[in-house]
Amino acid sequence: VSTQSTGNPTHVLYGHSDEVMCISLNLDLDICLSGAQDGMCLIHTLRDGRYVRRIDLHGGRAVNCVSISSCGYLVSFSADNRILNTYNVNGLLICSRSIEEKISQMQVSKCGQFLFYGNDQKSIIIKKLFNLEVCHLIPMVSNVRSLSVAYDEKFLFAGLENGHFVVVAICNR
């Protein structure tokens, strides 16, 4: 493996007809999931950039956030209709929920059972992945703009609209 970049992309992944809004990678599954303004999610392999599948997740509405679990479950959110969906990797809908908030960033837990997301309602929400029921709501002092979950899933890191960076310990999910 070379540590020097040639400046050229390794792969160019095609298939969307409009602006790509979000991506999620899963190295273990060799999958890249992308969501776009055209309402489609595309799945490509990471190693060779091969097109795998196209899934119409929101009936033509923009896909603003996506995440993929280590078990192959997909989560998507459209800000147009504020719908949060869970699918399997074949595109079969598992659960769909209308939510009041706009999601800024989301991530599925390593165990594949929980969804963490930050929103424009000054909170971080933890939901069960398969029924999208709220497990925990963690209030923040400002809207959440970015969110990351530590590898060991003991901490959440949130970047807030007011410029603060917050570290939250996760206990007893």
- pTM (2 decimals)? 0.85
**pLDDT tens per residue, range 13-68:** 778 888 999 999 999 899 999 999 988 898 999 888 899 988 886 677 899 999 99
Q: What is the CA radius of gyration of the chain?
A: 16
The answer to whether the beta carbons of residues 31 and 51 sit under 8 Å apart is no
The answer to whether the beta carbons of residues 127 and 94 sit under 8 Å apart is no
Rounded Cα distance between 43 and 130, Å, is 21
